[in-house]
């Protein structure tokens, strides 16, 4: 029987991200995927600055930007009858509308899933991950010590057994692992169905060149979408499918799709070359639990969200990174198993906000008749991207207080109207535990240059010897960064002698705005609590 630390089932964005980050942490990880290779469809396109921060941790951020010529050249989102028809609503005219340079050193990315997955795969294998395609999970059982799985090669039919300490289920929204665990879902459910088609054509000036140009189309013939891709001259079009009327993808032969593409583009003589046709369901579901025993759900296995807003794939990457660093900490002995309880506590609220916000986007852009009675209000997408808050045992909340004002007199951490304390304005960070560590310029770089590979204690001074002492005692990768500029103290909410402990994912785990009597004892206690040691 083969033995590994972690078995990952599924090699989409969530599964490959988990595999890559696990391997980079030195974990023995095996990943299996039933399909013969990575995605051929662009599907989840675009990377938020948060995702690019995570990719930077892995050293692939430049590659991801490099595979998309559209990465830094703009974004346009339009609701219209067709590419040259009536414009009903201009949602985004220029990516500059979302300038977040004050909140992060990371840029936006625009690459499609089809070109990002090979980069994740290459980096995972470089780091030591074993990734096997055309291999499916047949069955699995778990006990107190691990998971036993039966795998089958779809090419030869040969079955093998694998024993793993943990299983990461990244097998998608229709995967069987969640169901096998008896975990249900809640949410609106199926909203609409579409037939997607990838095609090559010369659309002339119908789409803005060298930017991500996304159209949501509403006309008398169909409702759908059309956008460009990272492959020059290649586009993706989706048109509505009505299974309630008995329609299937077979009712959309190439000649019908060509006619609809001509209507969408206002090019009656266009001769598109069809590259791929497939059906997909737009749905909104969140798993009732994100784990069961030694099995953890990531990506679409944990939540299915409408594509409107581009948050599904980004959330999957976040899931993969979150469970990876936590599993690695437990497997190394840095943390107790209780740290893994923070995965659901932190990631499920994110999934719920993503699904809710995407639903409202879907109503505005694609499904105007969608009934959202009882659905919560949407969350500001910028706040959800960089101003989200984690609450779990891996974060020690402090007593409420008023952060020191910024140099311009404004107060950091302004709560956005209608969102309670779920998110804050990332441009005015509070530095409070549970939020991302503030981005503060340091020389030609940023405080984020120090993050991603260890626990980091930031302080204006007085904690260096404590960090050395605790690091020597525990063996935990713990670094110390002493910064004493006024903007740093203000954004991190620290006075002289204060300290902020930041996790490997860039989240503030604990903060003491002022000095403490015994820094080493305090740091020892804090780490024991947040790591469930």
Write out the catalytic residue numbers. 216
Q: Which residues of 434-446 are buried (b: 16+ CB within 10 A; e: fewer)?
A: bbbbbbbebeeeb
- DSSP class of residue 393 equals T
Q: Which residue in 195, 214, 231 sits closest to 361, CA to CA?
A: 214
Quick check: 113 and 313 in contact, CB under 8 A? yes
For residue 458, what are the β-bridge partners?
481, 500
Quick check: 415 and 371 in contact, CB under 8 A? no
186: left (phi over 0), alpha (psi -120 to 50) or beta: beta
Quick check: 413 and 424 in contact, CB under 8 A? yes
Give the ranges where 9-137 is alpha helix by DSSP (H): 13-24, 49-58, 61-66, 113-126
Query: Which residues, in sequence order, are CB contacts of 40 under 8 Å at separation 6+?
Result: 114, 198, 276
Using alpha carbons, list the distances in angstroms from residue 469 to 279, 368, 479, 521.
58, 60, 11, 10
Using alpha carbons, list the distances in angstroms from residue 237 to 42, 168, 257, 272, 384.
11, 32, 9, 11, 28
* CB burial of residue 269 (10 Å; 0-12, 13-18, 19+): exposed
Quick check: 83 and 120 in contact, CB under 8 A? no
**DSSP line for 252-298:** --HHHHHHHHHHHHT-TT---EEEEEEEEEEEEEEES-SEETTEEE-
Rounded distance between C-alpha atoms, residue 524 and residue 455, angstroms: 13
DSSP SS3 for 109? strand
Using alpha carbons, list the distances in angstroms from residue 216 to 76, 358, 440.
11, 14, 38
């Amino acid at each position: 029987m083969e033995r590994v630390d972690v078995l990952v089932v599924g090699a989409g964005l969530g599964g490959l991200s988990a595999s890559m980050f696990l391997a980079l942490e030195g974990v023995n990880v095996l990943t299996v995927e039933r399909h013969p290779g990575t995605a051929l469809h662009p599907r989840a396109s675009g990377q938020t600055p948060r995702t690019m921060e995570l990719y930077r941790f892995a050293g692939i951020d430049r590659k991801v930007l490099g595979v998309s010529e559209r990465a830094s050249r703009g974004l346009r989102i339009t609701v219209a009858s067709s590419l040259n028809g009536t414009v009903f609503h201009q949602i985004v005219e220029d990516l500059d509308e979302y300038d977040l340079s004050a909140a992060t050193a990371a840029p936006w990315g625009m690459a499609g899933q089809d070109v990002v997955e090979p980069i994740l795969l290459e980096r995972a294998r470089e780091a030591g991950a074993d990734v096997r395609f055309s291999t499916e999970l047949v069955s699995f059982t778990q006990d107190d010590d691990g998971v036993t799985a039966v795998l089958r090669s779809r090419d030869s039919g040969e079955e093998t057994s694998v024993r793993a300490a943990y299983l990461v289920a990244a097998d998608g929204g229709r995967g069987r692992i969640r169901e096998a665990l008896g975990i249900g879902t809640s949410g609106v459910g199926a909203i609409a169905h579409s037939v997607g088609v990838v095609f090559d054509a010369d659309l002339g000036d119908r789409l803005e060149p060298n930017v991500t140009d996304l159209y949501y189309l509403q006309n008398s013939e169909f409702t759908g979408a059309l956008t460009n891709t990272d492959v020059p001259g290649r586009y993706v079009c989706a048109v509505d499918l009505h299974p309630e009327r008995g329609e299937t993808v077979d009712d959309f032969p190439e000649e019908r799709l060509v006619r609809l593409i001509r209507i969408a583009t206002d090019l009656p003589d266009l001769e598109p070359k069809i590259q791929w046709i497939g059906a997909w369901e737009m749905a909104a579901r969140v798993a009732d639990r994100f784990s069961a025993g030694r099995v953890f759900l990531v990506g679409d296995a944990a939540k299915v969200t409408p594509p409107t807003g581009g948050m599904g794939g980004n959330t999957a990457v976040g899931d993969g990174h979150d469970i990876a660093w936590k599993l690695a900490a437990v497997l190394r002995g840095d943390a107790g198993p209780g740290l893994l309880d923070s995965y659901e506590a932190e990631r499920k609220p994110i999934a719920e906000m993503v699904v809710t916000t995407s639903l409202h986007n879907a109503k505005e852009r694609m499904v105007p008749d969608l009934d959202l009675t009882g659905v919560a209000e949407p969350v500001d997408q910028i706040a959800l991207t960089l101003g989200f808050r984690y609450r779990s045992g891996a974060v020690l909340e402090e007593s409420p207080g008023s952060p020191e004002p910024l140099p311009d007199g404004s107060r950091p951490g302004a709560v956005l109207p209608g969102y309670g304390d779920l998110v804050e304005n990332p441009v005015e960070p509070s530095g409070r535990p549970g939020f991302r560590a503030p981005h503060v310029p340091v020389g030609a770089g940023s405080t984020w240059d120090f993050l991603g590979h260890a626990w980091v204690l930031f302080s204006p001074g007085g904690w260096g010897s404590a960090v050395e002492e605790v690091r020597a005692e525990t063996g935990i990768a713990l670094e110390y960064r002493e910064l004493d500029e006024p903007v740093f103290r203000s954004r991190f909410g620290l006075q002289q002698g204060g300290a902020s402990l930041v996790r490997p994912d860039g989240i503030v785990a604990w903060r003491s705005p002022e000095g403490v009597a015994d820094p080493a004892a305090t740091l020892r206690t804090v780490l024991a609590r947040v790591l469930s040691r």
